[in-house]
Structures are given as C-alpha cells and as structure tokens.
Chains A and B, each alone.
Chain A
Amino acid sequence: MLRDMMPQFELYQPDTLENALNLAKELDDKAWIMAGGYDSLDWFKDRAKRPSAVIDIGGIASLKGIKETADGLEIGALTTLTEIATNALVREKYSLLASAAGRVASPQIRNAGTLGGNLSQDTRCWYYRSGVNCYRAGGNSCFADSPQGQNREHCLYGANRCVAVSPSDTGTAAVALDARMVVRSSAGEKVIPAEEFFIGPAIDITHMTVLKKGEILTAVRFPKEWAGAKFYFEKVTDRNTWDFALVSVAAAMLIDGGVIKKIRVACGAVECVPRRLKAVEEAVTGSPQNADTALLAGKTAVQGATPLNFNHFKIPLMENLVRRAIRDA
C-alpha cells in the first residue's frame, strides 16, 4: 500500500463556525471535517479514505477555550488536549478529564490534537485502518474476528459483526463525568449526553458516533454535579510512552462519611463505545469505599464479557482496573 503520499483534495479553511457549517452543507457527501488532523491525516496518508474536499476547522477561534459556567464547565471542541491536561480549573475540579487528556498519545500529539477530535475519532482496528473491505468499511466480513485474526486489542462486549473498540480516552472520562456534547449543524444546535453520543455496530456499523453529515461537535459541557468529586483514571497500554488503551477505567464518585453516595464508572477499549458500568454503580452505591466493595465491583464489572481468540487477558485486566478505581479513588 502506498503510504505517506496523500491523494489530492480541495482544502477549505473557514474562520467561523457558520462558514464551516455552510461549507459542510454545500459539499455534503464530498466533505471531510478535520480538526487537529491526527485521525484524518492517517487515513489520507494510508489512502484508505480519499475525500475530494477537506474542511479544516482548526482555525475557528470560537471553538477553542475552557470556561466555567453556571452549570459547570464548557470546553470548546478545538481546545487541545495539552490545554485540558494542564488547565488549572480542569485540574482542580475535573481532574479525571485532565488525567485522561494527559494520557492521550504523546506530548507532541496532545499539543495539536483536540478534545473534539479525540472524542470523534474512528476506531483503530488495524484491519479497518489498513483499508480492507471489512464490515465497518461497508463490506460484509470482519477480519479481526476470524480464526487467525489478530484481535488482542478488540472488544469484550457488544460484538455485532464488527469487534472494534472505541479508542477515545477522553470519551471514557466524558461518560464517567456525564458530559453533554454540543453539536451544531445548519439546522441548529442539539445537546447529546456522552453516553448517547457514541454508538456501537448494532446501531451503525460504519460510524462511531451519532454525528451526521454536516454536523460539527462544537463543545463539551461537564456538569457541576461532579466538580470536585473523587476521581480515578487509569489506562493500560502495551507501550507506556504512547499508545491506545488495552483497557482504561474512569470513575467519578461522591463519598460521604466513607460511603459511596453516587458513582459513575466507565471502561474504555472493551466495547465499541465507552462502556458505562451501571451494574457496578448499582452494586457499590451505599457501600463503604473499601477493599471488599472494590472486590465486588471488579467481579461485577466483567460479568458477560465474551473474549475473542486473543484478548482473554482483558478480562482480569478490566476486573483489576475497576477494583483499583473503587478502592483507590
């Protein structure tokens, strides 16, 4: 496969959101919306995606920045991961998000990669990324889920013809923090809970999110309810320098007198969406935050896991991460 040589495309660089939305509407099927470019440019260089027009929204100033609101925190979709990881307000009140953003890829990538891009990125299944005609690419086969398929990074839950997982670290944190995604199109604005923003193959096998043609993720809102809660984020990777998660866990909990009053927990890289662990939340709410509760949480977390040929290791890994999240938050 020819690599590092992008096919030709028309480049549009709007400086306002309105211009970007108009372009997206006008170009319709031809348009590829690019933010930091760390997902898009891979696709183009591998020649696996060949859009004829790219709308680079990286220059839209209104989509950048972190601001405190009456309801919590609002972060523009083009805010870089480094800004999020180092911002004093985020670190003070939503350190879970800062931790997750700080564990994405490498410092160089975090300097240019954006929150919106990290949330909206495509899966990293290497069969799909190399441009083969798998289900996710519109075909009718899954090469990862074959007798010889290399699937140690793939899913434990929600396999539905495709077995890819969500690669987004900030997505896992966003689900745990009950974030709201602000999506704009020429038709107006809508606000979508993080849990509903990500979709699995049973709903749409060719997309990772509910974003449709002509829609742009403009901001993410983090509710006040979880500001200053106790948090835990941990991501296990093959390489500690920079890599996508083998399994990650994000937990936010409100503790009163040593008892878990309210909790949200999500795991990354075990399903095509950040997997919210509702059974764990129900099991530990009202229990003391201790080793016994953590043990129960870990065992509850992996109920129903269905490993593929080469990813059985993810089950104890996920169990231990959830156990640590409850015990050490």
Chain B
Amino acid sequence: MPKPKVIPRALLDFLIAWTLPVLIVIGWEIGARMGWISARILPAPSAVALAFWTNIENGELIHHTLISTRRAFYGLVIGGGIGFGLGVMNGALPIAEKLTDSSLQMLRNVPHLAIIPLVILWFGIGEDAKVFLVAIGVLFPIYLNTFHGIRMVDRGLVEMGRVYGLGAAALYWRIILPGALPSILVGLRYALGIMWLTLIVAETISAQAGIGYMTMNAREFLQTDVVLLGIIVYALLGKFADVVTRWLEQRALAWHPSFQPQHAVAA
C-alpha cells in the first residue's frame, strides 16, 4: 500500500504545541513596536534579547547567575544532606524516629520564608543567610520522601536478603537504598522547585549580587528589559535542574517497568 504523504504525527504535535506561544511573542513584538504596550510596562521581546546579549557581553549575567547557582547548590547539599541523613536514620531506627520525628513535623509546619526577618537578624544579609534559607527549604521534602521511601521498602525483600546471608551494610546498599530511591528522587525534584523559589525571595529582599539583586537593581533604574531577563533566567535555571533530575531518574531507575521501552515489558 503506498503511503500517503502527510506530515509525521510527532512533528504535527510539535507544531500544534508551539503555535500559540509563537503567536503570542509575535503579537507582543508588534504591540510593543506600534507603541500599544509601553516599554516601561513590557519591553519588546527583541529588547529583552538585546539586554540578554549586552549582559552576556559585559559579564554581568554570568557573574550573577554563578553566584545564584552557587547559593542554590550549597543550600541543596547542606539541607538535602541533613534531610537525607535524618530520613535514613529515622527510617532504619524506630528509637530515632520516636525521638525526632514529631519535632521535625512541628518544624515542617513553619513556612520557611516566614523566618526571613529572623534569618537576617542572625546572619545579616550575607551569603550565609541565603544558603541557610535554601537549606531549610529543601531539608523537609528530602527528609519526608527518604523516610517514606525507606519505610515502603518491601519487607519481603529485606527478609529474603537476610535469609541469603546479607549483612547490615549489604542489606542497606543493595536492598533498602535502591528500594527507597524512587521516592527519594521525587523528594529531590520537589526540593529543587523549593530551592529556586526560596532563592528568588531571599535575593529579592536582600542581596548584593545574584539574579535577584540584578533584577531589583534594574527596577530602580526602570530597566524593565533586564527585570524580564532575570525572570527568564530563573525559569531556565529551574528547567535545567528539572532536566538533570529527569536524566538522573532515567539512569538510576532503568530497572523500573515505567522507565523501560514498551516492547520489553511484555516479554
């Protein structure tokens, strides 16, 4: 049977999905050029692109992005590390859970952004304050999901491991941790969202460098294009973090039926 010449399905879906955003950007550009939209309220996309280019050239963008990323990274490592450690400990030792879990649950209910004034009093407006806030923000989702993941590991598999002579370390590395990993990765993705959100708020309120500082500074000089640029950079950083986690999930959970190619599942 001769194949009719049509646009492939995937390409068609792609075109349909992108039609609206492209039309909006084109309309926005036209509106700004015709003077319907004030440049002070919303500069044209081309102006934002130009701001992007100049800020790349003078090194400002890279400088501020690196500072923001560094804060995010330190906060994630410190808060995530503590959350993971507590999750493993409480998941494995009932006595540790009794001792710390209810306290952690109480602390979890304090919105971490509400303690910003306190954090400024403690740490001033330096790096420590931002790293601290991010660490507090990411600690709880990672703690909760690690704890939950370890609790949900199939007891039958752990018993099997014992019957087949695995010691405590082997049980942990080969059965408990891999079993909890899907849940831990969910916690990580959730934590990454909170990480950027916390950083945006913290940098906007008080900072001497970073994307948030760049946008607040631009606001004072009415550089709406740079403000918009900052927002876009935040969005891209968030997207990048998400892509990295997805990649991590696909590598670490290759065994999981939902990450395997369809044809392999029904063998």
The judgment on whether A and B are partners is: no
| Residues of chain B having any CB pair with chain A under 8 Å | none
